[in-house]
Amino acid sequence: MNKDLVHVLQNEAIKAAGNEDTWKNYIRYREDVYYPYVSDNIENNLISEANWMIRSQNISSEDLGLYLTVGDICFMDFGQAYLNEMAYQHFGIIMSICRKKALVIPMTSNPVQYANAYDAKENPNGKIHLMRLGDIKGLRYHSVLFLNDMKFVNTARVIEVKAHIDQDSTLFRKIQQRMMQVMFLRDDIAW
C-alpha cells in the first residue's frame, strides 16, 4: 500500500469529521493499537477505516455518484476480516444488485491463486472455489474469483468501476454456474 494514499484518505476523513487534531490523534492511537497485532497490515487497516469514516453513512454508491450495474468489476474496500476472508481493498465482480446492496465475488490477480484455480482443461485438480477469468478488458492481469467469499455489501464500498462483463455473455453465465455449484456443493450443475 502507498503511504500517500493513506494520507489522502485521512485528509478526506478530516474534512468530513471537521476536527484535524482529533483525527490525527485517533490515527496515531490506531497505529499503536494495530502494531502488535497486525503490523503487516497497518496501512490497509487505516485505509479501510478512513474509507469507512468517509462512506459508511452513504445509503449506496449512488450517493457518491457511482451508478453500478450487474457485471461491473469494481475496486472496492471489503474492510477488515478474519483469516480466510477477503479483506481490505480488492477487486470484485457484481453478480446481483438488491435494494442498494450488491452480491459481490471478490477477485485477485495473485499468480499463485491463478495457478491453484480449477480449470477443466488446464488444471482439473485445481481448487473448485477459485475460478480463472483470464484476460478481461480494462484489467491489467489475469484474474481469479474467490467464489467461496461472495457476499452482499453496501454499494458505497465501491471506489471505482474498472471493467465490465456483460451479463448475457458466456463468461458471466459460467460464473453464475460455478457460483451456484460452490454455494450448494452440487455435482449435478454443469460447469
> What confidence tens digit (pLDDT) does each residue in 127-158 have?
999 999 988 999 999 999 999 999 999 999 99
Compute the distance between CA of residue 134 and CA of residue 136 in angstroms, rounded to an integer: 6
Q: Which string of b and e fits 46-83 if b means at least 16 CB within 10 Å?
A: bbbbbbbbbbeebebbeeeebebebbbbbebbbbeeee
Compute the distance between CA of residue 180 and CA of residue 93 in angstroms, rounded to an integer: 15
Q: What is the pLDDT of residue 85?
A: 87
Q: Which residues of the chain have pLDDT under 70?
A: 1-18, 186-191
Q: Could you tell me the domains of the chain? A: 3-55 (no CATH), 61-184 (2.30.30.110)
Q: What is the pLDDT of residue 191?
A: 46
**DSSP assignment letter at 122:** T
Q: What is the pLDDT of residue 168?
A: 97
pTM for the full model? 0.84
**DSSP assignment letter at 187:** S
Q: What is the pLDDT of residue 134?
A: 85
